[in-house]
Structures are given as structure tokens and as C-alpha cells.
Amino acid sequence: MLKNKNKLKIIALIAMLILALTLPIVRADDEPVANTEVTSPEATAENISTDMPQTTNTPGTSDENFKKNDVYLAGDNVTIDYIVDGNLFVFANNVTINSQIGGDAFICAGSVTIGEQGYVFSNLFTASKDVTINGVVYDLYAASQNTTINGYVYRDIHVGSDTVNIFGTVGRNASIDCNTLNFTKENAEEGTSGAAINGNLNYSAKEEVSIPEGIVSGETTFEQQNSFKENSIQDTIMNLGTYVITVVVIWLLCLWLAPKFLKNNTSLLTTKKILPVIGLGALTPIILFALAILFFVLDITVTLGFVLLLVLFGLIMISNAIFIITFNKILCNKLKIEKTMGTFGMLIATAVVLWLVGLIPYVGFVLGLIVSILGMGIVVSSLVLKEKEVKE
């Protein structure tokens, strides 16, 4: 009966994950973009169409120029020159959008360019080296090295970049974390429609920036970045806390969903099984990545390629914690600690010690690699060897 309950829990969890990955992501606003009023420069307003892409093909419009569902793309250079009536997911080196995207755009790339004819009707989420907005985006969320806005962002921008260039218009508020913030030299001086932030500007940088008069319509708030030492101490404390909390959360999940795994996983680090564990831990990421690339090449199975990358990312994220949990179980067995609170205390101590050792130059890198391989090997081995052990 208990086994059935655990299986039901696992099935429910997997079902929720599948639903999270497959259901479209919708912006929380009730009103469509077409009904959103935005104050924009006349020159910009004249060139921008606020009509959402139609959900039905008009005569003469082929399926090649219109996608009625979410689109998944991967490659070296990706150019989208057809309407997407859904969300867009891209993993590539260079990405260029020269058409309308009806939903959100999620892009991980070396460079991202929204062309002059490009129009993202919802949010653009991107992690990339260079981001250039020459067209229109509703909301911008960017983590990049360089971000340049030459076009128009209807609502807010949330940007973390080394260099941010605002040469176009932000319809509402701008939240920026950067080292360098630049604005166009035109605007107030010559009366041209250069940079404009129609709401508030909140930015953090090493030094306060001189902002030409008339660019920011609302309030400007500046926060000076802390010194390297202060940042280092804060980051160190935050990283340690995150590390320990992650280990504890995964341990609690294992207690709830897979108590048998916690009970038997120590056997995987015995002399007889350690080599298969290392082999599986080293080969699994290579195999999953190779399969994902293969599925990306085959257009029919691009979605499965993204799923494999998510699985690989998940394994990498939990591998360290799984090793620490297993290693802590071995220590508790040696010290004859059986109570849950005692195991919990030892788990925190083990995580802190391994994290501190990981800070040692060179040694930390080697330790981290070993821990990651063993942790991944433990997870995969427990799945591969489970059926065999049951038969025995």
C-alpha cells in the first residue's frame, strides 16, 4: 500500500511538471495588448501597428508564413520572418526576429536582434551576450552583456547588463542594473525623438550617470553598487545559504517521495558499484546532450530535445545535493546516528564543510567535478539498477 502511495505521488509530480512545460505561458494582464494605451512619440506611433496578429489565415496566406501554435527552434543562425500566434522558444547563436510574435519569446543566444519589422506582442525573456531592440517589444526582461534599445518597449524593461544603451523609447518604467548607462545625445538638445522613458527610472551602477533633461518623465532613483569586498561577503553568505537550503529541500523531498532511495543509496558507493556509478555519471550528460542536438536537427522532435535539455539541467542541479545526502547517510551510519534530527544536523554540517572545501582554488574545481559526477551517477544508477535488484 505504501509503495502504491509513493508511486502516486511521483506520478502526480511528473504530471504537474509536464503540464508546466506544455501549457502556454500567459501574461497576467486581462486586457490584450491592442487595448493598452501607451504614450509614445509621434514618429514612433505612426510606424507601429497595434493590431494583434489574426488567429485565422487570410486568403493567400500560407502555413509557412503563419504558425498557430508555440514554436521551438534551435541552431546556429535563426531568423523568424513568419507570424507566430503563440509563444516562441529559441536556443541558438544568433537570433533575428523580423515578424510578429503573438505570445512570449524565450531566447537563449549569443545575440538577439528584434528587427525594425519585429514585434513581440508580449514579453521578451532573454539571456544572451548582445540584445538589440530595433522594433517593438511589450515588456523586456534581459540578462546580457550589452543591451541596446533603438526601437520601442511598450511597457517596462528589467535589464541586468554591463552596458545599457537607451536610444529609443520605454513606454513606462525602467529598472536597470549595469556598469555603463548611455542615452542618445539628441532628444532635448535638438528636439528630435531620441531616448525617452515615459515612467520612472530605477538604476544601480558604480557611479551616478548624468541624464539629459527631458529624457525621464517620472522620478529617477539611483543606487550605488557596493564595493567589491562588501559584495563578496554578501554574495558568499547568500551562496552558502542557497547551497544548504537546496540540499535540505531535496533531502526532504526524498524523504517524502523516495524514502527507499535514501535507505539504499549508500550501497551505490561501495567498492563493487562505484565504477558503474562513475561511468553512468560521466556518460549521462554526454548522451543526453548528444540526443538533444540530434532531436534539434530533426524538426519533428524539437520539443523532445528541449525536454532532454531540461532533464539534463535538472540532473546537474540536484547532483551535488544527492551526493551530499548519500555521503551524509554513510557518515551517520558510521557514527550510529539514527534519529531524523541528528541526520538533519549532520546534513547541514556536511554541506557546509564540502562547500567550504569547494572554495579552495583548483581543489574546489576537482572536488566539484567529482561530486557532480558521483551525484548524477547515484541518481541514474538507482533508476537503472532498481529493477535488477528487485528481481534478485
pLDDT value at position 120? 94
Q: What is the pLDDT of residue 112?
A: 93
* Domain locations along the chain: 43-224, 228-391
Residue type, 375: G
* Cα–Cα distance, 380 to 279 (Å, whole number): 10
Beta bridge partners of 96: 79, 113
CA neighbours closer than 13 Å in the CB half-sphere of residue 262: 20
pLDDT confidence of residue 84: 93
How much is the pLDDT for 133? 95
Q: Summarize the confidence of residues 47-66 as an average pLDDT.
A: 46
Phi and psi for 178 in degrees, rounded to 5? -155, 175
pLDDT number for residue 31? 35
- Averaged pLDDT, 101-125: 91
3-state secondary structure the chain: CHHHHHHHHHHHHHHHHHHHHHCCCCCCCCCCHHHCCCCCCHHHHHHCCCCCCCCCCCCCCCHHHEECCCEEEEEEEEEECCEECCCEEEEEEEEEECCEECCCEEEEEEEEEECCCCEEEEEEEEEEEEEEECCEEEEEEEEEEEEEECCEECCCEEEEEEEEEECCEECCCEEEECCEEEECCCCCCCCCCCCEECCCEEEEECCCCCCCCCCECCCEEEEECCCHHHHHHHHHHHHHHHHHHHHHHHHHHHHHHCHHHHHHHHHHHCCCCHHHHHHHHHHHHHHHHHHHHHHHHCHHHHHHHHHHHHHHHHHHHHHHHHHHHHHHHHHHHHCCCCCHHHHHHHHHHHHHHHHHHCCCCCHHHHHHHHHHHHHHHHHHHHHHCHHHHHHC
Which band of pLDDT confidence, cut at 50, 70 and 90, is reported for residue 348? Answer: confident
More confident residue, 68 or 157: 157
75 burial via Cβ count (<10 Å: 0-12, 13-18, 19+):
middle
CA angle 161, 167, 170 (to 5 degrees): 80
Spatial CB neighbours of 55, under 8 Å, sequence gap ≥ 6: 68, 85
pLDDT at 63: 58
**Which residues fall within 8 angstroms of residue 300, CB to CB, at 6 or more apart?**
none
Tens of pLDDT, residues 187-226? 444 544 578 999 999 998 888 888 888 889 999 998 887 6
For the chain, the average pLDDT equals: 76
Task: Return d(Cα 249, Cα 241) in angstroms, integer.
Answer: 12
Residues present in the chain in total: 392
Is the model more confident about 239 or about 323?
A: 323
Q: What is the pLDDT of residues 213-266, one digit of tens each?
A: 888 999 999 888 765 445 556 677 777 888 888 888 888 888 888 777 777 777
On whether the CB atoms of residues 92 and 111 are closer than 8 A, the answer is no
- pLDDT at position 116 is 93
Q: What is the pLDDT of residues 163-172, one digit of tens each?
A: 999 999 999 9
Q: pLDDT value at position 102?
A: 92
What is the band of 115 on the pLDDT scale with cuts at 50, 70, 90? very high
| Mean pLDDT of all residues in 168-186 | 85
Q: What is the pTM of this model?
A: 0.55
Select the highest-mean-pLDDT range: 28-32, 88-92, 114-118, 291-295.
114-118
Specify the pLDDT at position 41: 37
Higher pLDDT, 61 or 147: 147
pLDDT score of 8: 41
Condensed to tens digits (0 to 9), the pLDDT of residues 58-111 reads 334 445 678 888 888 877 889 999 999 988 888 788 999 999 999 889 888 889
Q: What is the pLDDT at residue 24? A: 38
Residue 197: closest CA among 229, 234, 153, 163: 153
